[in-house]
Amino acid sequence: MDAKEFNSLFSILSDRLFRMAKSMLQNSDEAKDAVQDLQLKLWEKRDVLKNADNQITFTLKALRNLCIDTIRKKHDSEELKPEMEYSNSQIQYYQLETRDMANYASLLIDKLPEIQRSVMRMRDVEEMEISEIAFITGLTENAVSVNLSRARAKIRTQLLNELQTSN
């Protein structure tokens, strides 16, 4: 694979890679770093990439693995604390409630088992196909569907419980 082919692949995937890394790492700077690290690593192993059956899926799987490694290193070095971001301007009540619920849902997703969390983000955030997720994760398509269903059910149940206790 020459530089032109490699750069063409990354120009096609750059936005998608960044969105995927950001959804997994929850940080724009870390996501940019992850994509740059991936690009460097894949350039060094461009012959493996060239021989891959599906270069796009191979690249996405490599990014997922890199992000998981980054998260593990982060967990080992510090305790993750969710940050609530609110603007300083006066926010109407329903906007505040919506943001609180979104943040709560994000925290619930973060507490899911790793495979359910990854599958849910890839499907619901990145809008990947079940077959792509199966290839990236190494699961069968049925296992991806089951994990996705279970993850959604857990989040739905916990959100409904939160709504009932707050009313």
CATH number of the structural domain spanning residue 136: 1.10.10.10
Residue-level pLDDT at 78: 55
In this structure, which long-range contacts are made by residues 149-156, counting pairs with CB atoms below 8 Å and at least 24 apart in sequence? 150/116, 151/109, 151/112, 151/116, 151/117, 151/119, 151/120, 152/120, 154/108, 154/112, 154/116, 155/105, 155/108, 155/109, 155/112, 155/120
Whether this prediction's pTM lies above 0.85 is answered by: no
Check whether residue 6 and residue 27 sit in a common domain: yes
Check whether residue 72 and residue 92 sit in a common domain: no
CA 109 to chain centre: 11
Check whether residue 94 and residue 77 sit in a common domain: no
Residue-level pLDDT at 77: 61
Q: pLDDT per residue over 90-133, tens digit each?
A: 445 545 566 667 777 788 888 899 999 999 888 888 888 999 99
Q: Are 141 and 130 in contact (CB under 8 A)?
A: yes
Domain range enclosing 35: 1-81
Q: pLDDT per residue over 25-57, tens digit each?
A: 888 888 899 999 988 888 888 888 778 888 888
Choosing from 81, 104, 133, the residue where a domain stops is: 81
Q: Tell me what the mean pLDDT of segment 151-157 comes to.
A: 90
Check whether residue 75 and residue 88 sit in a common domain: no
Check whether residue 47 and residue 25 sit in a common domain: yes
Check whether residue 31 and residue 104 sit in a common domain: no
Question: Which tokens belong to 40?
Answer: 């460097």
Check whether residue 114 and residue 166 sit in a common domain: yes
Choosing from 48, 81, 114, the residue where a domain stops is: 81
Largest CA distance in the chain: 61
**Count of other CB atoms within 10 angstroms of residue 71:** 18
Check whether residue 27 and residue 76 sit in a common domain: yes
Choosing from 12, 47, 81, the residue where a domain stops is: 81
Check whether residue 44 and residue 123 sit in a common domain: no
- At residue 11, does pLDDT exceed 60? yes
Check whether residue 52 and residue 70 sit in a common domain: yes
Residue-level pLDDT at 96: 59
Check whether residue 77 and residue 88 sit in a common domain: no
22: domain CATH number? 1.10.1740
Domain total for the chain?
Answer: 2
